[in-house]
Structure 1
Amino acid sequence: MITLNDYLYSGDTLLRILKKYIRDLRTEAREKHNEIDLVHCNFLIQIQELLEHNDFLTAQSQKIREFYKYMAGEYPFLAFTFKGRIKSLIRAEEKFNGYVVEFIYDYYKEYGEYPSVSQIKERLSCFRDFIAYRIVIAMPRCHLKNGENVREEELRYLYEIANVLPGFLEERGFTAEPARGVQESTSPLLSEEARPYYRDYICNNSEDDYQSLHITFYDNSSRSYMEVQLRTKDMDDVAEIGSANHLSYEKKQESERRRRDAIPHGECIYFDEAYERGMRLLGLDLAALDVNMFGAVNNSLINDGCGLFRGRMILPYEHLSRFQNDIVD
């Protein structure tokens, strides 16, 4: 069985690793008539093309910057940041195999049989976040009027910005993708026009849980999908360094992807291979890897210059709160 781990000790560049992995995986998939591994190859080709032909990201980020300029003019009193990243190869590979494992496991537990190849393919068609942007806002307390609550004001502005975003980007060559009822918003602050496009992880989650608004766009120029997340600073703190931080999220995912008690070995090749690939990735000793532009002392101290493990930052913008007529004596 071909796994990504087999290519991470050669000293190659990230692109060379990807090309070799895709080539060998495709050859094996054709020999074994493994349709899911052919889907896997197509998934990896998307990452390869994104890394090889990324000139469009300059044009894309300029369009995103237009919304940044809009916000700076419309909300000079808010502090906010715009960030963008391309998903890392290891995270993407973990996610692909994790989707296969979770879907087959849950399907088998519910129906007592394995899903068809077409059903697995349908489950794997939902990757839309290779490219993701995040907008984080904060209302400085010094700009609050008497009686105003920080969280309430930030929420009001966050949803107001969310209402404007789809139409703004559609005028610049993007198409908002329907959320198809996933995490449908019940917030009265989200307009009826914008509601079908957002996955709202705020309205039904507590402040200690993960909270964010997610929307997916199709970039008609580059013919690629991208995700935009909108949060307040407090939501971002909870997601990054608080109770819903990514490490906790990863541990939950890891626990779900370690399940195989209900699936007998050897009955479902798609489950067995995805499970093995996932387990091997979870057991990586990052300090032992030899990938160009990547270095690690251990699994916590990492210097990733190629987007292998942490992804690649593509857009840092920061707006500091101000008032146009503020004068400090």
Structure 2
Amino acid sequence: MKKLNDYLYSGDTVLRILKRYADDLKQSAKETHNQIDLVHCNFLLQIAELWQHNDFLTSQSQRIREFYKFMANEYPFLAFTFKGRIKSLIRAEAKFNGYIVEYIYKYYIEQGNYPSLPELKNCLNCFRDLIAYRIVISLPKCHLKEGESCEDEEIKYLYDVANQLLGFLEERGFTAELSSLTGQKKSPLLKESVSPYYRDYIANSESSGYRSLHITFYDNISRSYVEVQLRTKEMDDFAEIGPANHLGYEKRQESERARRDAIPKGENIYFDDAYERGIILHQLELSKVDVNMFSAVNNSLINDGCGLYRGRLILPYEHLSRFQNDLVD
């Protein structure tokens, strides 16, 4: 079985590593008649194509930047950041294998047998966040009126931004996808016309405490899907460096062990391969990895200049509130 881990110690560039892994995986898939590995190979090539096609990324980020300029004019009192990235190779690989494990496990628990090959292949046609943008807002306390809650006011502005975003981007070549979050509560702060397109993890917060608004667009110009996340600074801190990050990791470890215990080893090769790839990837000691433009002291102190672990940055913009420049006598 071919594994990404085996390619991370050559000192090569991440694109060369990706190509070698994809090429070897394709050859192995042909020899073993493993159609899921062929789908896996095509997924890896899709990531490589995103990394190399700078023209469409430039076009896309410029159109996203138009909304940044709109916000700077519409909400001059807010501080906010726009960030864009292509999903990192390690996280993309983990997610692909995680989807296989999760889908087969859920199917087995519900049906008592395993999904057919067409069903499994169809479940892997679901990646919409290989390119993602995040808008994070913050309201300076000096702008609050007496009796107002900073959290409540920030959430109001966040929903207002969400209401503006959909139509703005659709005028610039994007088409919003209907939300895949079923049975969700609807916030009265989201307009009825845009609500069906948002996955609202604020009104429908997860057990970890994670909160955010997510929306997926299809970029008709670049012919690619993009996900946009909207958060307040407090929500972003909670997700990136707070309990949501840590709890998510612990819950994932527990659920992975439960899935392996539920499905006997050797009964389903697709589950076995995906499970093993995912486990060894989670156990990777980044300080020992040798990839050009990447170095790490440990699994926390990481300097990633190539998109191996943190993702390739494609859009960094920051807007300071006009109040941050005020001088108090």
Deviations 1:57-78 (A, max 9, x none): 2221111111011111111111
Cα 1:206/1:97, change in 2 over 3 Å: closer
Deviation at 1:294, TM superposition (A): 1.2
- Give the AA of the match of 2:221: S
Return 247-256 or 84-93, whichever deviates more: 247-256
Name the counterpart of 1:252: 251
1:112 aligns with 2:73: no
Give the gaps of 5 or more residues in structure 1.
none
Q: Distance in 1 between matches of 2:124 and 2:183?
A: 19
Deviations 1:147-191 (A, max 9, x none): 322122111111111011011001111111111444734101111
Cα 1:173/1:301, change in 2 over 3 Å: same
Deviation at 1:118, TM superposition (A): 1.7
Q: Distance in 1 between matches of 2:16 and 2:273?
A: 23
1:240 aligns with 2:240: yes
Structure 1 residues 204-219: aligned runs within 5 Å: 204-205=204-205, 209-219=209-219
Structure 1 residues 279-290: aligned runs within 5 Å: 279-290=279-290
Q: Distance in 2 between matches of 1:220 and 1:206?
A: 32
* SS in structure 2 of the partner of residue 221 of structure 1: coil
Q: Distance in 2 between matches of 1:302 and 1:154?
A: 31
Q: Distance in 2 between matches of 1:254 and 1:207?
A: 16
Deviation at 1:254, TM superposition (A): 3.2
- Please give the TM-score of this superposition, normalised by the length of structure 1: 0.94
Q: Distance in 1 between matches of 2:89 and 2:24?
A: 17
* SS in structure 1 of the partner of residue 254 of structure 2: helix
Cα 1:252/1:206, change in 2 over 3 Å: closer
1:129 aligns with 2:125: no
- Give the AA of the match of 1:54: N
Q: Distance in 1 between matches of 2:249 and 2:327?
A: 47
Q: Distance in 2 between matches of 1:208 and 1:24?
A: 38
Judge conservation of contact 2:180–2:199 (CA < 8 Å) in 1.
no
Q: Distance in 2 between matches of 1:274 and 1:18?
A: 18
1:266 aligns with 2:252: no
Deviations 1:239-269 (A, max 9, x none): 1222212x43233223323331111111111
Q: Distance in 2 between matches of 1:148 and 1:285?
A: 47
- Give the AA of the match of 1:168: F
Cα 1:147/1:307, change in 2 over 3 Å: same
- Give the AA of the match of 1:214: H
* SS in structure 2 of the partner of residue 267 of structure 1: coil
Judge conservation of contact 1:102–1:256 (CA < 8 Å) in 2.
no
- Give the AA of the match of 2:314: I
1:278 aligns with 2:284: no
* SS in structure 1 of the partner of residue 279 of structure 2: helix
Q: Distance in 1 between matches of 2:51 and 2:14?
A: 9
Deviation at 1:131, TM superposition (A): 1.0
Q: Distance in 2 between matches of 1:296 and 1:317?
A: 26
Deviation at 1:328, TM superposition (A): 6.2
Q: Distance in 2 between matches of 1:279 and 1:146?
A: 52
Deviation at 1:326, TM superposition (A): 7.0
1:225 aligns with 2:225: yes
* SS in structure 2 of the partner of residue 102 of structure 1: helix
- Please give the TM-score of this superposition, normalised by the length of structure 2: 0.94
Name the counterpart of 1:67: 67
Name the counterpart of 1:143: 143
Deviations 1:270-317 (A, max 9, x none): 001111111221221212222111112222222111111111222111
Q: Runs of 4 or more off by more than 6 Å in structure 1?
A: 325-329
Give the gaps of 5 or more residues in structure 2.
none
Judge conservation of contact 1:175–1:218 (CA < 8 Å) in 2.
yes
Name the counterpart of 1:83: 83
Judge conservation of contact 2:8–2:291 (CA < 8 Å) in 1.
yes
Judge conservation of contact 1:207–1:235 (CA < 8 Å) in 2.
no
Q: Distance in 1 between matches of 2:162 and 2:253?
A: 32
- Give the AA of the match of 2:129: D
- Give the AA of the match of 1:255: E
Q: Distance in 1 between matches of 2:279 and 2:143?
A: 50
Q: Distance in 2 between matches of 1:12 and 1:81?
A: 33
Cα 1:85/1:230, change in 2 over 3 Å: same
Deviation at 1:236, TM superposition (A): 1.1
